[in-house]
Amino acid sequence: MVAGDRGVAIVTGASRGIGAAIALRAAAAGYAVLVNYSSDAAGAASVVQDIRDNGGVALPHRADVSDPAAVGQMFDRAASLGPVTAVINNAGITGNLIGDLVDVPPDTVRRVLDVNVSGVIFVCQEAVRRLGSGTGGPGGSIVNISSTATKAGSPGTWAHYAASKGAVDVLTVGLASEVASQGIRVNCVAPGSTNTGLHAAAGMPDRVQRLNPTIPMGRGAEPDEVAAAVMWLLSAEAGYVTGAVLPVSGGR
């Protein structure tokens, strides 16, 4: 296997939903893609097969992003395809529950922060080591996936999750300033309500539909619409954009 025309893109949490849509678009844009997953091996294999069926290059790779050693191994696997030039931090969890913050078990809080905050930090750290011109890297782009849940804080549903995504927004801005001189752009896409399995996994499969009346455009996003925003931030057209948090939320 050899890298695509644009190098290698690592997409975390890419076995389904927004991550899968990003992986497919990245492959179509000319990247070889490392499809990261934590537990859904079948989903990751399906995404990889879709990419290959369309003439692209992809590998699945299981790694828990909250484990720094596993993150390093993930980048090593991606490097077998060629130079890594794009990293998309999509992996994120809610803890699979909905309710008031006071009722969220401590272990759930810790796990959500481990994946959604520490995991993003660990992946960004390794990306800077590999991509930065100061260490002989090719430069490139990091896109973090946040959420517009940070605006109101998701009271009564996912306040712990919203807090974790607020950290991602702040990290994006700070890191973008640190590494701009190393040829790395760091941006963030903040989806609003999106039609993925995230809500069903937390026990509320109709959540997006119930929120539709609060969205100016009257509907939730499709994963591919979020992926399109990610691809723009990776593109040369966004070459002077760094430190941005781009909402993809239908106006909500």
Q: How far is residue 92 from each of residues 23, 38, 89, 108, 138, measured CA to CA in Å?
A: 16, 10, 9, 13, 27
3-class SS at 7?
Answer: strand
**Residues 6+ positions from 181 with CB-CB distance below 8 Å:** none
Task: In whole angstroms, give the CA distance from residue 18 to residue 170.
Answer: 21
Half-sphere exposure of residue 189: CA atoms within 13 angstroms, side-chain side: 30
Phi, psi (degrees; rounded to nearest 5) at 55: 85, 10
Catalytic status, residue 37: no
Q: Which residues of 27-56 are buried (b: 16+ CB within 10 A; e: fewer)?
A: bbbebbbbbbbbebeebbebbbebbeeeeb
CA angle 92, 95, 98 (to 5 degrees): 120
Catalytic residue among 31, 37, 161, 240: 161
Residue 42, Ramachandran bin (φ over 0: left; ψ between -120 and 50: alpha; else beta)? alpha
Indicate which residues carry an active-site annotation: 161
